[in-house]
Chain A
């Protein structure tokens, strides 16, 4: 019983982290059909920057916001300088963003070195909640809360605001959206920056329990892709359910079948895709 509750909790909290990461990637995918290999870089660079901000200012909140903001700016530059002109050219997108990801990886290595770091979490968030015989680390509860908060805000923005309606119109038919006077390139820029910032938030949050180290960018990238693929490109609901699914599959896979743990993650994904090539909630 304890095993199941603990694993379930770990799976859900990992899923929450994945949602922070994959929500933005899914929007970027869905809206601009851009395969963004730098998403993992945004995650890692966000964490590194937050680390620097934290040592300079001593404030966790400032570090989190600073990391997210800096990466949003980076996203704007990337979109403006490199990606805007590559609409519809998947191969060019993959190769360009891969190149950028390698450049970022090397720059991070120069700046922060090869040692792993842990982002020191504030005292409020350390410790455990006791519930009967169970212990729940406060930090993991915090991640779930943050992810839920982001999910609700994103949902409200996308479904209930004018900007959100423009975003949805862009996802459904960019050409038609442009035709009725929606500033598609402006919206795209905004979404790319938002996605980058969310990845940075995920990186900062993950820095507290997974650590910050070279290579984390590509490690997490494949998970983010899995979530987006399973959930369907451009669907927030898909990203949420995909994140939970992947978080749980990954945790239980590792705990129950360590020999096949990646297989238990990727094979169901392939199976879903075999039945629904556009993912659970994706539209072609």
Chain B
């Protein structure tokens, strides 16, 4: 799953996308703006999962746990101790990283279906705590209201537009960090592990350590998404880290195209828009979401990015003929 277009075309596309994300929001209707903010945050989560799922070949069924850890860190720190943005950000990411570091030790003992099941189980541990450790998390009621962050800047993040730009900064940061990682020798090794673990082992690479680091980084970035999510939503509930969220993130990555970073971000956009817009027009949005799940695997198993690549190949062949 290499690049969708030629390097220059890809770079141009990325530049145009970022430009559009930068320039258009002030002209968008408020509802669309909040959906776009939501998209950016979910895009960070989807890209973080892409590091493990797309690049390393590890399908995790518990990724929402890291979103939850980041979000609950903010919820608890901001409402109980009045902690500021930087403190909450630091703790949120640190907690997600630490938990991923422990979970990785357990989960990476398994592969394939067993890896799926262990990550599911570990995700449920966190979900269970969020649900029942009422004195800390307030259980089902969740934590609210989480105040919007104050950064000492001239803009109030209580308003939708400045907060959108905050999310955009977060998105670009996550994109840059993950892009640097996947294009580094470390990232190349991850791809090698995805393609053939035994070959990489034979070549002398420390396969387990690479997988472990990818798992922990993925968790850390997931925690970052959770921090923004809590501030965006203004409340944190156990449903933020439900099993269905973990699966939805998997869908975002699969729909966009595994191992492309921007593909999963696009997948996040499609799902967020679909979920919110479809439910405006019809009660049957669960049905439609279900059809998207089934249809993605049936008709676009390599996702949107894969479909684009195929289209490009067709065009080339047509030109050659």
Contacts and interface: CB of A to CB of B under 8 A. Distances in A.
A252 to B, nearest CB: 14
B53 A266 contact: no
A228 B286 CA distance: 27
A62 interface: no
A79 to B, nearest CB: 14
A177 B244 CA distance: 36
A86 B117 CA distance: 18
Given A262-B129, A262-B132, A270-B125, A99 B294 contact: yes
Interface in B64-107: 105-106
Contacts of A29: 113
Interface in A235-274: 258-263, 265-267, 269-270, 273-274
Contact of A99 (B59, B127, B292): B292
Contacts of B61: 94
Contacts of B291: 99, 103
B307 to A, nearest CB: 16
A105 B247 CA distance: 16
Nearest to B109: A277
B25 interface: no
Contacts of B53: 91
Contact of B290 (A91, A102, A263): A102
Contacts of B146: none
A35 interface: yes
A273 to B, nearest CB: 5
A100 interface: yes
Given A95-B247, A260-B132, A266 B292 contact: no
Given A260-B133, A270-B121, A270-B122, A37 B247 contact: yes
Nearest to B295: A99
A105 to B, nearest CB: 6
Contact of A95 (B105, B118, B133, B297): B297
B200 interface: no
A273 B114 CA distance: 10
A274 B109 CA distance: 8
Contacts of A90: 59, 112-113, 116
B59 A225 contact: no
B297 A96 contact: yes
B301 interface: yes
Contact of A267 (B125, B295, B297): B125
Interface residues of A, number: 48
A139 to B, nearest CB: 27
B131 interface: yes
Contacts of B122: 270
Contacts of A37: 247
B254 A95 contact: yes
B128 A262 contact: yes
A147 interface: no
B117 A102 contact: no
Contacts of B160: none
Interface string B131-151: 111110000000000000000
Interface in A101-124: 101-107, 109-110
B110 interface: yes
B268 interface: no
B106 A270 contact: yes
Contacts of B128: 261-263, 265-266
Contact of B125 (A35, A261, A263, A278): A263
A62 to B, nearest CB: 30
B35 interface: no
Contacts of A261: 128, 132
B212 interface: no
Interface in B191-248: 243-244, 247
Contacts of A158: none
A206 interface: no
A189 to B, nearest CB: 20
B268 to A, nearest CB: 15
Contact of B296 (A33, A95, A270): A95
Given A106-B286, A229-B117, 13 more contacts: A92-B297, A96-B293, A98-B247, A98-B290, A99-B289, A99-B293, A102-B290, A109-B286, A261-B128, A266-B124, A267-B125, A270-B106, A278-B114
Please provide the 4 A-B residue pairs with the shortest distance between their CB atoms, ordered closest to farther: A262-B128, A99-B293, A102-B290, A103-B290
28 contacts: A35-B113, A91-B250, A91-B254, A94-B61, A95-B250, A95-B251, A95-B296, A98-B251, A99-B289, A99-B297, A102-B290, A103-B290, A103-B291, A107-B287, A221-B243, A222-B124, A229-B117, A233-B114, A258-B132, A263-B125, A263-B128, A270-B118, A273-B106, A273-B109, A273-B110, A273-B118, A273-B121, A277-B110
Interface of B: 53, 59, 61, 105-106, 109-110, 112-114, 116-118, 120-122, 124-125, 127-129, 131-135, 243-244, 247, 250-251, 254, 284, 286-287, 289-298, 301
